[in-house]
Amino acid sequence: MKKMRKKEILAMLLAGGQGSRLGALTKTIAKPAVSFGGKYRIIDFSLSNCANSHIDTVGVLTQYRPYLLNSYIGTGSAWGLDARDGGVSILPPYATESGGQWYAGTADAIYQNLNYIDLYDPKYVLILSGDHLYRMNYQEMLRCHKENNADLTISVMKVPMEEASRFGIMTADETGRIVKFAEKPKQPESDLASMGIYIFNKDVLEKALIEDSEDASSDHDFGKNIIPKLLGEGKRLFCYEFSGFWMDVGTISSFHETSMSLLEENPVFDLYDYDFPIFSNENLSSPEYIGPEANVSGSIVGNGSQIFGDVIHSVISVDSYVGRGARVKDSVLLPGATVEDGATVNRAILGEYSVIRAGAVFGSEDPQADIAVIGDDCIVEKGGES
């Protein structure tokens, strides 16, 4: 096989998950393709991290409803990742002479694409999840990996003890070497949670994946299978402790809460950082227009939107419309959403190109009520959801 120019490190980005807990938002698209922050899609964050970390070769593993993701990523040029020598490759499941199969787990997905990794013969492989929100310079993690002479480095962050049982929890010695790993433990021993970001030495990864593929009892999952296996073999596993913002927006309420947190004047997760920009495959809409009677406050409004009514403490994504006399509060309008004249929207998430008809009321002001959600392209008529 003719090889490409050798890379020091390449990234494999897992983007095949459905994110079923996001309900209506992921009915037609994969979670990494869900819109966030007015103009981004969730995958923009990990792709931008790669670009800002000078990692120019990225394999994106897709499986669940990939069409929007595929067309959105395109050649990767929006993230400056359209290099001739590397770039973004979309890696869906494929057929071989012995048939074909879906990706059975995170480890299996990478296993099935070992040939792709071989093409670039990297020394290190960075494994990422495409559905997390964070800014990270992976080069610093790589430096840490090299300094520790590690076989595998896992990015971790401190979480509140009471939440630790939701994560893969590491116990590390004073040098940062992992001595114990427990996937979603009932009685967590530590508060260091795995962020699902791994740097492997390529040969260690390859060997572990091949052995794992032959183990019929395995779930082919990095957290459940690969990490415990390497730990058992006495390999050098280290923590890389990350202290910035990191979020896996797994549920409707965490999606809503994280969106609302962007509205603070100086949010913890600040999208305004010109030294570490988040790139996106931006739409080419005109600037937004705020009408003569509009009232916009404590909000983010994206390009191409037309606002004629009241927008209070909300995220209005690109190409949205809020009509005259309409009122939107504590809500997230995803791209192209329309709130017609006189309609009211409270504590809600409106899917892409959804419509709230004139005079309709959607969502409740009651802070105890669940966040109201309407899926992409759906319509809410006056007097109830259709």
Partner 1 sequence: MERVIGIISANYETDDLGCLTQERTIASLPFGGRYRLIDFPLSNMVNSGISTVGLITPYKYRSVIDHVGAGKEWSLDRKHGGLFILPGSLFGVTSSEARFMLRDLKHNLVYLKRSIADYVVLTASDVVYNMDYRVLVDQHVRSGADITMLYHEAVEDAPHDLGLELDGDKVTSFIHGVKKGENIFRNCFVISRALLMNIISWYSAEDFLDIFEAIEPDLGKMDIRAYRFGGYIRTIDDIRDYYLHSMDLLQDEVRRELFSHTNPIKTKVQDSVPTKYLEGCSVKNSLIPAGCFIKGTVENSILFRDVTVGEGAVVRGSIVMQHCTIEPGACVENAILDRNNVIKAGTVIKGSPDHVFVMDKKTR
- Three state DSSP letters for 199-262: EEEHHHHHHHHHHHHCCCCCCCCHHHHHHHHHHHCCCCEEEEECCCCEECCCCHHHHHHHHHHC
| Least Å from the CB of residue 287 to partner 1 | 4
Residue 75 interacts with partner 1 (CB under 8 A)?
A: no
Residue 156 interacts with partner 1 (CB under 8 A)?
A: no
| Least Å from the CB of residue 293 to partner 1 | 8
Residue 37 interacts with partner 1 (CB under 8 A)?
A: yes
Extract the tokens encoding 208. 């572990």
The residue among 181 and 279 lying less far from partner 1, judged by its C-beta, is 279
The residue range among 151-159, 245-253, 296-304, 343-351 that interacts with partner 1, by the rule CB under 8 A, is 296-304
The residue among 111 and 279 lying less far from partner 1, judged by its C-beta, is 279
Q: How far apart are CA 163 and CA 247, in angstroms?
A: 13
Residue 271 interacts with partner 1 (CB under 8 A)?
A: yes
The residue among 18 and 303 lying less far from partner 1, judged by its C-beta, is 303
* Burial bucket for residue 167 (CB in 10 Å: 0-12, 13-18, 19+): buried
Nearest to 130 by CA among 84, 75, 66: 66
Residue 67 interacts with partner 1 (CB under 8 A)?
A: no
The residue among 75 and 101 lying less far from partner 1, judged by its C-beta, is 75
C-alpha dist (Å) from residue 175 to 139, 171, 172, 233: 20, 11, 8, 19
Extract the tokens encoding 331. 């809500």
Residue 285 interacts with partner 1 (CB under 8 A)?
A: yes
Residue 102 interacts with partner 1 (CB under 8 A)?
A: no
Q: How far apart are CA 106 and CA 293, in angstroms?
A: 51
C-alpha dist (Å) from residue 132 to 41, 49, 221, 294, 366: 11, 11, 18, 34, 29
Residues 297-356 that bind partner 1 (CB under 8 A): 297-304, 311, 313, 317-318
The residue range among 31-39, 168-176, 200-208, 322-330 that interacts with partner 1, by the rule CB under 8 A, is 31-39
Using CB under 8 A, list all residues that contact partner 1.
37-39, 77-78, 263, 265, 271-272, 277-280, 282, 284-304, 311, 313, 317-318
